[in-house]
Structure 1
């Protein structure tokens, strides 16, 4: 394991560079201490191995011994319990996304079981509602308080909007079904029926969803759009994300609502990329499907939004208060 890592790092260095000097610099140790590690006389600790992998920007999959090909190194994003945790999540995600926007030939693939989070981060009423829902679902300590009375720090809203704005600049390929809006629609209905959302706010949220849907529909109809949407009726989407760049791939698997397991394991990312490409081949590419196909797809989602508005309105009329 140690020999494989040293060999991999050595292959990354210029031909006239010293592996001992490089290891000494990366670990902040003496030349002799580095030599003992490169020669195998001293063992690298797990912490040192991780530090070297990070310093030389190589995946931890190089540490695996033969016969351990089914074991993948994963990193778990921070668990979210409070508004502060959520703000940190938005800010750290913005740093990651910003690094992508400066790169060429980058594509983000999103298997959209729900509305991709980035589309809901415009800093408006819908953004505030999604934050309200996420924090209530992620923390049992959240008190039973209505959405209208719930105070979300302005810094959290601003961090969310910054992330949403950055996402607009990335070429993205999303796989949708007509059920992609269902989760958000159910959340609106649930909190309305629980008495934690007024009829005016619930209706306004539905209007925001209609505006978002129209905006996405318009974007898809444009030539050379950064947003590509595929319709797959059979694939069970799960909000997985794959980031593909010429120099690196990263694969994100949902852990909780907003937390992910992340890996840059080369073999795993290649397998995920191949799987996504196969799904795209079995999906309908809405951007080139024609006006009629696009209209039918987005109308099915709009019909669900309209049905929820009618249900909310009817329940208010039929109330016995």
Structure 2
């Protein structure tokens, strides 16, 4: 697609918005692109066109999506950045590190917040150094990689650096202003994974029970956040199917993360798309129950439904163990 003057002017104006006060746009472009002052001046004055490579270099330097360049042009085309395919522990570690860096830069801005539409448990809750987090890593690698396919969970050994990278991502999320939208099915995939690998004899009875207990502790932690964390809001939506959409909002920019495989995601800062997604999420919240401001009774009804699901799986595993006639 040809870059017009109007598109280039708009893109450069977005860069100028995020520059510190009294910082020269020309000097900045010259430094980032490693070109002369005169060459940078020709680009900022629209006498010369930015190449695609230069546009990408600028967008990466300022943590902006290249789609900022195309906001004036094709309104039905959105440029996205995507994460690499995960096929190994090393790839998964890189994923955690990149996710941490992406969020750290954006959320360092004042008054930033995250809206998370959670089809499954938010990945941040299972990014730490405990049994449930290691199990989730095991499941992801079983599904995405041939490296450890078919090994029992007790023989799975994530590297120290992988666990550390996951933990840093989880810790980053713990101190943010967060809004989450759940249904009681949000824990279903984790319950199914525990049951599947138990039935496949890749999880022992004892470990399966411990994973159920860890899952219950996680839900208890969320229940406590609802009651005590003023930065945290949890909505219960019974009407719409969640899809693990993550919208990061700051006073200056918004960024959307949308999954396209189990873990990999597309990232975009396209203004029109973000406005539409934000409006969609706001509608979801209007059609949801805000548990953070609901009474204790409403909160208990919601969380008890999930505790009963976990208890049911625990009972099933225990019963099968008791009925083992061999």
What is the TM-score when the length of structure 1 is the normalising length?
0.91
2:129 counterpart residue number: 123
2-side partners of 1:82 and 1:57: how far apart?
26
> What pairs up with 1:17-166 in 2 under 5 angstroms?
23-34=29-40, 37=43, 43-55=49-61, 59-64=65-70, 68-166=74-172
- The answer on whether the counterparts of 1:176 and 1:230 sit within 8 Å (CA) in structure 2 is yes
The yes-or-no answer on 1:244 pairing with 2:246 is no
The CA RMSD over aligned residues, in Å, is: 2.4
1:281 counterpart residue number: 286
1-side partners of 2:205 and 2:22: how far apart?
71
Q: CA deviation at 1:62?
A: 4.2
The yes-or-no answer on 1:293 pairing with 2:298 is yes
The yes-or-no answer on 1:219 pairing with 2:221 is no
- The answer on whether the counterparts of 2:65 and 2:81 sit within 8 Å (CA) in structure 1 is no
Match of 1:317 among 291, 316, 322: 322
Q: CA deviation at 1:20?
A: 5.8
Q: CA deviation at 1:173?
A: 0.5
Name the SS for the 1:148 alignment partner: helix
Pair 160,243 (structure 1): closer, same or farther in 2 beyond 3 Å: same
- The answer on whether the counterparts of 2:8 and 2:49 sit within 8 Å (CA) in structure 1 is no
- The answer on whether the counterparts of 1:121 and 1:164 sit within 8 Å (CA) in structure 2 is yes
**Which has the higher mean CA deviation after the structures are superposed, 153-162 or 238-247?**
153-162
The yes-or-no answer on 1:229 pairing with 2:231 is no
Gaps (5+ residues) in structure 1?
Answer: none
2-side partners of 1:38 and 1:219: how far apart?
48
Aligned length: 320
Match of 2:6 among 4, 7, 11: 4
Can you list the C-alpha shifts for 1:92-151, whole angstroms capped at 9, x where unaligned?
222233335533211101111111111112311001101100111111343311000111
- The answer on whether the counterparts of 2:126 and 2:133 sit within 8 Å (CA) in structure 1 is yes
Q: CA deviation at 1:22?
A: 5.1
Gaps (5+ residues) in structure 2?
Answer: none
**Which has the higher mean CA deviation after the structures are superposed, 99-108 or 174-183?**
99-108
1-side partners of 2:314 and 2:300: how far apart?
20
2-side partners of 1:214 and 1:320: how far apart?
35
